Structure 1
Amino acid sequence: MRSPRLRLAALAVAPILFLGACSTEGGADGAATSDDAAATSMAPTGDVSELSVDTDGDAPAITWNDEPFADGELPFAVASTQAETVEEGDGDEVAEGQEVQARYIAFNGATGEQVLSTFEADESVTLDLSNENLFPAFLDNLPGRRVGESVLMAIPAAEAFGTAGNQQLGIGAEDTLVFYLELVEARDPLTKATGAEVEPEEGLPQVEADGESVAQITIPEDAEEPTELVVQPLVEGEGAEVKAGQTIKVHYTGVTFADGEGFDNSYDRGTPAEFPIGVGQVIPGWDEGLVGQTVGSRVLLVIPAELAYGTDAEAHELGGQTLVFVVDILGAY
């Protein structure tokens, strides 16, 4: 049967700040051509070497030629990405493809306004350097730096959101972004669940999974089809708790409860799936069952039709069916 793929692939997105949304005009594949890219950035008006950072307050403050950034002779614009070390780090060297935990504050170079920050909430974000949707500035400039290092970075529009800008963040089509980042941690990304194994309740589908290939899911002959969502951790990961609105990275296997037949999995595609969770972009059973779990966990989900593809068998090929999934949560960003 044709794989519905959970509506995952078409909806997979990176976190809004880090999606390199280049112009959809120009190249045949939707990417901006070099001429288009050049047109999206205003003429240079400054240099990252003219910026300084004061970290004595609750949040870092950026100055431009010793004046508060917003009071400078705006707009501040660069022609290509510039990065300068503010303070050296003494931790491990960041490698290509790793996940980097970072704190940051970002400003719009055209207006001087702060657009996003993790400092007020004392949080950090994960920059997945294996994700090609991340701004090229991060992919190119973070490997080789060390944990503990802080960096000032100026990114022109052509190498960030392009002609689309970002209306939600108030970023126009020609606006340079100015970032101050502190590199907190670097680690190799998870490829499978890792943590303490959990003994599942009796009567549930039986699972054999190594995290490297399609999970084997067996429906016991006497198993009762549940009327409510079943969420059974099989491995409890030690990572952060998954929050609604994050993008999660998972490997998964899906079968029907009625006959145990597989209808979809991520392993055959050779790469984990990434998608927003808890915001109605996937079936409700996934939103309800995975928010609150921890990164590194393996979770068994038994999802009644009402929380899957509905009860109408004619509306969807999996309509009216209870579905069973085994999900390895590899990241949440």
Structure 2
Amino acid sequence: MRLFWPALLMMATSCGLADDGAMPVVSGTFGSKPVIAIPSSRPGRTPRVTVLSVGAGRRTVPGDVVLADVEIHQWTGNKPYLTTYDAHQPTAVVFDGRHVSATWREALIGRAAGSRVMLVSPAGEAQGPNIPLTGLRPADTLVLVFDILGGYPADARLVGRTLPVIPGDLDLTSEPRTIIDGSGPPVKAGGKVVVQYVAAEWPSRRVVDSSYRRGGPSAFTLERGAVPSGWVEGLTGRHVGCRVALPSPDERRPMLYVVDVIDSIGL
């Protein structure tokens, strides 16, 4: 569990200025959906990164998978454009040498977990992974607020343990089962959980998804509707560092999961 400094409503550090020095003001605490107030003045033409609050966790480094919630507004009209807060699934940005925009690197790399960072940039320079520019012109200005949950190695795993496999006797009637005990903080319902996992469809038992294959850990808010069925009950109360096998008897697509809990972030 990490402790974070409260969000500041003033700029801590900044690179570049708007035409008249005015910048958006962001209110709210780390982990809550930010409220963005945009001035009536015109935006500047160059990207600007502002650290709104500094966390107390490990700093992200090149090569990490950075997990962060992000709120994006258009400068003009302060129109909401995209958010991960409502979906309760932070975005995962893989800094493994593949193309990630320079503005996102500036905003996310070298930042302590628990930090809130604002990026103001023309849309053409602010595009991140899985962030489309639908309905925008490259020159349109975007305001992005990131809550950085942390940076994790792409192959983050339980130390000294082999990769997870679906147990041969796991089926949809099974109770959640601890395969490996963890010794870290307990997982809390409603908090963020960082996991690696393997998923197999039922009844074929064919592995159809694996975070290890897709580039690294993912983060979820541990509440119903934000994670597969069975995860809230199966992971709540377990400890970071555990491995849990659990069924997900969703009528639309029943699955079997083995989940490695890499981190837990209580907000």
Normalising by structure 1, we get a TM-score of: 0.45
Structure 1 segments unaligned to the other structure (5+ residues): 1-45, 63-67, 166-171, 195-209, 220-224, 281-285, 311-322
Match of 2:198 among 237, 249, 252: 252
Contiguous gaps of at least 5 residues in structure 2? 1-16
1:299 aligns with 2:244: yes
CA 1:249–1:49 in 2, change beyond 3 Å: closer, same or farther? farther
- Equivalent residues of 1:82, 1:155 under 8 A apart: yes
Question: 2-side partners of 1:91 and 1:332: how far apart?
Answer: 13
2:162 counterpart of 1:191: no
Counterparts in 2 of 1:301 and 1:81: CA distance versus 1, 3 Å: same
Alignment of 1:203-242 (within 5 A): 211-215=161-165, 217-219=167-169, 228=173, 230-234=175-179, 235=181, 238=185, 241=188
Cα deviation, 1:40-78, whole Å, max 9, x if unaligned, reads: xxxxxx8388234667x657887xxxxx734334xx363
Q: Specify whether residues 268 and 155 from structure 1 end up closer, same or farther in structure 2 by C-alpha distance, changes over 3 A only.
A: closer
Write out aligned runs for 1:1-333 (5 A).
47=18, 50-52=21-23, 69-73=38-42, 76=43, 78=45, 81-85=47-51, 93-98=59-64, 106-113=72-79, 128-130=92-94, 137-146=103-112, 151-158=117-124, 159-160=126-127, 161-165=131-135, 172-173=136-137, 175-180=140-145, 186-189=150-153, 191-193=156-158, 211-215=161-165, 217-219=167-169, 228=173, 230-234=175-179, 235=181, 238=185, 241=188, 249-252=195-198, 254=200, 263-264=206-207, 266=210, 269=213, 271-272=215-216, 279=225, 287-292=228-233, 293=235, 296-302=241-247, 307=251, 325-330=257-262
Matched letter for residue 288 of structure 1: S
Structure with greater proportional helix content? 1
Whole-angstrom distance in 2 between the partners of 1:147 and 1:275: 13
The answer (yes or no) to whether the contact 2:56–2:114 under 8 Å persists in 1 is: yes
Deviation digits for residues 185-242 of structure 1 (CA, Å, limit 9, x no counterpart)? 6453572347xxxxxxxxxxxxxxx6433537354xxxxx977453223335636547
Are the counterparts in 1 of residues 230 and 248 from structure 2 also a CA contact under 8 Å? no
Aligned length: 227
Higher strand share: 2
Q: Is the CA contact 2:201–2:256 (under 8 Å) kept in the aligned structure 1? A: yes
Note if contact 1:96-1:129 (Cα within 8 Å) is conserved in structure 2.
Answer: no
- The one-letter code matched in structure 1 to 2:49 is A
* SS in structure 2 at match of 1:188: strand
Q: Which residue type is aligned with residue 232 of structure 1?
A: R
Seen in structure 2, the aligned counterparts of structure 1 residues 243 and 307 have a Cα distance that, compared at 3 Å, is: farther
RMSD of aligned alpha carbons: 5.5
Q: Kindly indicate whether the alpha-carbon contact (under 8 Å) linking 2:94 and 2:215 is maintained by their aligned counterparts in 1.
A: no
**Amino acid in structure 2 at the alignment position of 1:212:** T
How far apart are residue 109 of structure 1 and its match? 0.8
Q: Which amino acid aligns with 2:121?
A: I
- Would you say the 8 A contact 1:251–1:327 is kept in 2? yes
Matched to 1:164, the amino acid is: T
1: CA distance, partners of 2:218 / 2:231: 13
Matches of 2:263 and 2:152, distance apart in 1 = 11
Please say if residues 195 and 259 of structure 2, whose CA atoms lie closer than 8 Å, have aligned partners that are also in contact.
no
Alpha-carbon distance in 1 for matches of 2:211, 2:35: 45
d(CA) in 1 for partners of 2:146, 2:248: 41
Q: Distance in 2 between matches of 1:330 and 1:91?
A: 15
The 1:332–1:308 alpha-carbon spacing in structure 2 relative to 1, beyond 3 Å, is farther
